[in-house]
Structure formats: structure tokens, C-alpha cells
């Protein structure tokens, strides 16, 4: 699984970081989230799907 | 709904519409009739849903409640957020007056419309990120559960006063339709 963030849509509420800190980090200068991994480890895939579902502006793009 | 979650959801809907506005404005010089109608729907969304309803909740309910907690830092955050609201209101007013006469606008005036819209998008995106980072955490930090419950009720009053009986639904349908048309792959 691959995951990307649409930086125009990211509103910086850090929810993804709370749900899956292993994959999502927060850029304190730009006030938006960033992805820390090239591909998502299998054991974290469900957490990443949950983060994407909960992302209010739909900024998390998951490629299965 | 908890006040923090309600404001967060409204920020999400607003970010989606900002992306739509930016995309639509890439064609500002040559908007077709359907796209002009979409621009009108966007302006209605930013005027009513964002400014009157969402900013109304913040300015009439949330900011006064946080201000009562008497922390110096809170007042300076609120001052800068109110300044952003005013600036956004002014720019949206300029966009609205250009959009009304769009059919007779010169190419230069259409570029001006695009430039105003880009300014609005950049300002409101930055503002929302600032609120999510600095303002929303204060709701849990500074207000007790009964205070938050009372605030949820006050938010409903603002909803009735600003949106009437039709409520938010009509705007959320618009968000879905326009996002699908302009921004979703
Ligand atoms: S949950 Fe979505 S909007 Fe919020 S910080 Fe993460 S990517 Fe950005």
C-alpha cells in the first residue's frame, strides 16, 4: 500500500498523526501533515485506512 | 456534536471548496455558463456557510467564551483570527462584485478576479491551519464539559439564526457536487 497527502487539502488538524504516528508526521512550519514512509508496512494498513476515512477534507490518498 | 468536532468538520468542507475555487479560477478568462453558476454557488457557500454561519459561531460564541478564561495568549490569537475573518470578508466582497458583472468583464478584469480568488484561497487555507493548530486545542484545554455542552446548544442557535430551517444540508450537497465535478479524480 502507498499513501500520499494532498497538501492543498490538508487542514493540519493532526488527526492522521494521532491515528497512525508511525506513518504520518506533522510539519510544524507549514502546519500540515507529511508521510514518513515510502510504502505502508502491512501491519499498519488498517490504521492508515482509518486515518483516510476520518480525514475531513479527504486529503489522504491511499493506493492499495 | 462536540464544538471542536463541529468546527473541524466545517473546516474540512471549507478546504474542499477552496480547492474547487482554485481549480475553477484556472479558467477564469473563459468561464462557460454552467461554470459561472458554479462560481455563484461557491460565493454563496463562502458568504453564508463560512462567513455568516461558521465565523458567526466563532465570533459570537467561541471567542467570547475563550476570552473569559483571561489568558493573554488567547486574546492575541483571537485578535489575529478576527483580522483574518475581516480580510477574507473584504476579498470575498470584491470577488462577488466582479462575479456579478462577469459577462461584461474584460480579460484584464477576469485576471483580476482570479488574482482575488487566489488571495482568498491562500488566506483562508493558512487561517484554517492556524485555527486547527492553535485554537481548537484550547476548547478542550480551557473549557469544562458542561461549558462545551452549553456551547453546542449556542452553536445550534447560530445555525438557526444564520441558515434558517434549511440548515447546513444544502451546502453540504453543494460541497459534494462541486468537489466531484472539479477536484476528484
Ligand atoms: S487528518 Fe487529513 S487534514 Fe488532518 S492533518 Fe492529516 S492529512 Fe491533514
The residues, any chain, with a CB within 8 Å of residue A47's CB and separated by 6 or more, are: A19, A20, A22, A23
Residue pair B81/B131 in contact by the 8 Å Cβ criterion: yes
pLDDT of residue A11: 98
Which DSSP string do the residues of A20-48 spell out, in sequence order? -TTTEEEETTTTEEEE--SS--GGGHHHH
Q: Grade residue B184 by pLDDT with cuts at 50, 70 and 90.
A: confident
What tens digit of pLDDT does each residue of B98-130 get? 998 888 888 899 999 999 999 999 999 999 999
* Whether residue A55 has its Cβ less than 6 Å from ligand 1: yes
Which domain CATH number covers A38? 3.30.70.20
pLDDT in tens, B19-54: 999 999 999 888 888 899 999 999 999 999 999 999
Query: In B33-54, which positions are buried (b, 16+ CB within 10 angstroms) versus exposed (e)?
Result: eeeeebbeebbebbbbbbbebb
State whether B132 and A8 contact (CB < 8 Å): no
For all residues of chain A together, what is the average pLDDT? 96
Mutate to test the interface with B, among A51, A52, A56, A60 (most CBs of B within 10 A): A56
Mode of pairing for the β-strands spanning A2-5 and A60-63: antiparallel
Is pTM beyond 0.90? Reply is yes
Tell how far CA B51 is from the center of its chain.
6
Give the Cα separation of B39 and B120 in Å (integer).
Answer: 14
Domain that holds residue B38: 3-182
pLDDT(B185) > 60: no
For residues B87 and B85, what is the distance between their CA atoms, to the nearest angstrom?
A: 6
Q: Is the CB of A13 under 6 A from ligand 1?
A: yes
| CATH number of the domain residue B163 falls in | 1.20.120.520
**pLDDT score of B170 more than 80:** yes
Using only the alpha carbons of chain A, give its radius of gyration.
10
Q: Relative to the CA of A11, which ligand 1 atom is closest?
A: 3
The reply to whether B9 touches chain A by the CB within 8 Å rule is: yes
Neighbouring C-alpha atoms within 13 Å toward the C-beta of B114: 16
Specify the pLDDT at position B105: 84
| Mean pLDDT, chain B, integer | 94
Cell 454563496 sits on residue: B44
What range defines the domain where residue A8 resides? 2-63
CA distance B8 to chain A (A): 8
The string of DSSP letters for B38-69 reads: HHHHHHHIIIIIIIIIIHHHIIIIIHHHHHTT
pLDDT at residue B106, rounded to an integer? 87
Question: In the prediction, which pLDDT does B33 show?
Answer: 83
- pLDDT of residue B93 exceeding 70: yes
- The confidence score (pLDDT) of residue A12 equals 97
Cell of A46: 488498517
Give the ipTM of the model, two decimals please: 0.93
pLDDT band at B74 (very low <50, low <70, confident <90, very high): confident
Residue B58, all three cell numbers: 466563532
Asked whether B117 and B96 are in contact (CB, 8 A), the reply is no
The count of domains in chain A is 1
How confident is the model over B135-168, as pLDDT tens digits? 999 999 999 999 999 999 999 999 999 999 888 9
Tell me the per-residue pLDDT of A13-42, one tens digit each, with 9 for 90 and over.
999 999 999 999 999 999 999 999 999 999
Residues 1-60 of A with CB under 8 A from B: 8-14, 30-32, 55-59
Atom of ligand 1 nearest to the CA of A60: 7
How many domains is chain B built from?
1
Phi, psi for residue B109 in degrees, rounded to 5: -70, -35
- Interval A41-52: pLDDT, tens: 999 999 999 999
pLDDT at B43: 98
Amino acid at each position: 500500500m502507498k499513501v500520499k497527502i494532498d497538501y492543498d487539502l490538508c487542514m493540519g488538524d493532526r488527526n492522521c498523526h494521532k491515528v497512525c504516528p508511525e506513518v504520518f508526521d506533522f510539519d510544524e512550519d507549514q502546519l500540515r501533515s507529511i508521510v514518513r514512509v515510502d510504502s505502508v508496512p502491512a501491519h499498519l494498513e488498517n490504521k492508515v485506512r482509518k486515518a483516510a476515512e476520518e480525514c475531513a477534507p479527504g486529503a489522504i490518498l491511499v493506493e492499495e | 456534536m462536540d464544538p471542536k468536532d463541529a468546527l473541524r468538520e466545517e473546516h474540512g468542507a471549507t478546504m474542499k471548496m477552496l480547492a474547487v475555487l482554485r481549480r475553477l479560477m484556472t479558467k477564469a478568462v473563459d468561464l462557460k455558463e454552467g461554470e459561472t453558476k458554479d462560481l455563484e454557488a461557491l460565493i454563496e457557500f463562502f458568504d453564508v456557510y463560512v462567513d455568516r454561519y461558521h465565523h458567526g459561531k466563532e465570533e459570537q460564541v467561541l471567542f467570547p467564551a475563550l476570552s473569559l478564561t483571561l489568558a493573554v495568549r488567547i486574546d492575541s490569537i483571537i485578535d489575529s483570527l478576527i483580522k483574518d475573518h475581516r480580510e477574507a470578508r473584504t476579498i470575498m466582497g470584491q470577488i462577488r462584485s466582479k462575479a456579478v458583472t462577469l459577462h461584461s468583464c474584460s480579460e484584464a478584469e477576469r485576471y483580476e478576479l482570479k488574482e482575488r480568488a487566489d488571495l482568498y484561497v491562500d488566506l483562508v487555507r493558512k487561517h484554517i491551519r492556524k485555527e486547527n493548530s492553535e485554537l481548537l486545542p484550547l476548547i478542550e484545554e480551557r473549557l469544562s464539559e458542561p461549558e462545551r455542552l452549553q456551547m453546542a446548544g449556542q452553536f445550534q442557535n447560530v445555525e438557526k439564526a444564520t441558515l434558517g430551517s434549511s440548515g447546513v444540508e444544502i451546502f453540504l450537497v453543494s460541497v459534494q457536487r462541486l468537489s466531484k465535478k472539479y477536484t476528484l479524480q
